Structure 1
Amino acid sequence: MKWFPGVFVLLILTAFHADVQTCIANEAAEDAKKTTAEPREQRIANYLTGAKFIGHFTVDGATAKDLKPEHYTISKCEKLPTGSMYRLTVRIRYGNIDSEVPIDLKIVWAENTPVISVESLTIPGLGTFATRVVIHQGRYAGTWQHDEKGGHLFGRIETASERESNDTDSEDVVVFEEDFEDGLDAWEILDPDSWKQSTKNGNTTFEITARYGKYKPPVRSPLHVALIKDLQLSDFDITFKVHSTLDTGNHRDCCVFFAYQDDHHFYYVHLGARPDPNSGQIMIVNEASRRNLTNNETPTPWDNRWHVVRLVRNSQSGLIAIYFDDMQTPHIQVTDKTFTTGRIGIGSFDDMNEFDDIVVRKRK
Structure 2
Amino acid sequence: MARRESAGTGSERRLQWQRIVAAAAIGAGLAALGYWNSGRTLAAARKLNYSCNFSPKQMSDWTFPHAEDWVSKTEDGMTYLHMLRPRDPGVPRRPLQFARLTNVNVGSFDLSVKTRREGRSMIIVFNYVDTLHFYYTHVSRDRGTVQPVHNGIFLVDGAPRRRIAGLEAQPALPDTSWHTIRVVRNAETGLIQVYSDVQKGPLFSVVDHHFTCGQIGLGSFDETGDFTDFHLHSNDAGCTPKVPAARALLQWPQFQP
TM-score, normalised to structure 1's length?
0.49
Task: Structure 2: give runs of 5+ residues left out of the alignment.
Answer: 1-31, 36-45, 237-257
Secondary structure of 1:232's counterpart equals coil
One-letter amino acid matched to 2:205: Q
Deviations 1:99-146 (A, max 9, x none): xxxxxxxxxxxxxxxxxxxxxxxxxxxxxxxxxxxxxxxxxxxxxxxx
Say if 2:100 is the partner of 1:262. Answer: no
Report deviation, 1:175.
2.3
- Give distance in 2, aligned partners of 1:97 and 1:318: 28
Instruction: Choose from 64, 76, 80 the match for 1:189.
Output: 64
Partner of 1:25: none
Report deviation, 1:273.
1.7
- Give distance in 2, aligned partners of 1:224 and 1:206: 13
Deviations 1:173-200 (A, max 9, x none): 5521111122410001112222211122
Larger Rg over CA atoms: 1
Partner of 1:356: 228
Deviations 1:151-208 (A, max 9, x none): xxxxxxxxxxxxxxxxxxxxx9552111112241000111222221112223211011
- Give distance in 1, aligned partners of 2:167 and 2:137: 11
**1:174 and 1:359 in contact (8 A); partners too:** no
- Give distance in 1, aligned partners of 2:204 and 2:47: 24
> In structure 2, do the counterparts of structure 1 residues 346 and 293 end up closer, same or farther at CA, with 3 Å as the change threshold?
same
> In structure 2, do the counterparts of structure 1 residues 345 and 327 end up closer, same or farther at CA, with 3 Å as the change threshold?
farther
Tell me the number of residue pairs that the alignment of Structure 1 and Structure 2 aligns: 191
Deviations 1:228-275 (A, max 9, x none): 00110110011111112x2x4xxx111110110111100000112212
Report deviation, 1:218.
3.8
Partner of 1:177: 51
Partner of 2:77: 202
**1:272 and 1:299 in contact (8 A); partners too:** no
Report deviation, 1:327.
7.5
Q: Where does 1:45-60 land on structure 2 (aligned, <5 Å)?
A: none
- Give distance in 2, aligned partners of 1:304 and 1:265: 30
Q: Where does 1:307-346 land on structure 2 (aligned, <5 Å)?
A: 307-325=179-197, 328-346=200-218
TM-score, normalised to structure 2's length?
0.68
> In structure 2, do the counterparts of structure 1 residues 327 and 189 end up closer, same or farther at CA, with 3 Å as the change threshold?
farther
Instruction: Choose from 157, 160, 165 the match for 1:294.
Output: 165
Report deviation, 1:295.
4.6
The one of the two structures with greater contact order (alpha-carbon pairs below 8 A, sep at least 6) is: 2
**1:275 and 1:297 in contact (8 A); partners too:** yes
> In structure 2, do the counterparts of structure 1 residues 275 and 97 end up closer, same or farther at CA, with 3 Å as the change threshold?
closer
**2:33 and 2:61 in contact (8 A); partners too:** no
- Give distance in 1, aligned partners of 2:34 and 2:52: 13
- Give distance in 2, aligned partners of 1:257 and 1:178: 16
Q: Hey, which of these two has a bigger chunk of strand by percent?
A: 1
**1:233 and 1:259 in contact (8 A); partners too:** yes
Say if 2:155 is the partner of 1:281. Answer: no
Report deviation, 1:355.
0.6
> In structure 2, do the counterparts of structure 1 residues 275 and 96 end up closer, same or farther at CA, with 3 Å as the change threshold?
closer
Secondary structure of 2:102's counterpart equals strand
**1:177 and 1:357 in contact (8 A); partners too:** yes
**1:189 and 1:227 in contact (8 A); partners too:** yes
- Give distance in 2, aligned partners of 1:340 and 1:282: 15
> In structure 2, do the counterparts of structure 1 residues 230 and 299 end up closer, same or farther at CA, with 3 Å as the change threshold?
same
- Give distance in 1, aligned partners of 2:211 and 2:140: 23
One-letter amino acid matched to 1:291: R
**1:235 and 1:314 in contact (8 A); partners too:** yes
Deviations 1:22-77 (A, max 9, x none): xxxxxxxxxxxxxxxxxxxxxxxxxxxxxxxxxxxxxxxxxxxxxxxxxxxxxxxx
Q: Where does 1:117-132 land on structure 2 (aligned, <5 Å)?
A: none
**1:258 and 1:266 in contact (8 A); partners too:** yes
> In structure 2, do the counterparts of structure 1 residues 295 and 236 end up closer, same or farther at CA, with 3 Å as the change threshold?
closer
Task: Structure 1: give runs of 5+ residues left out of the alignment.
Answer: 1-94, 99-171
Report deviation, 1:340.
0.8
Partner of 1:232: 105
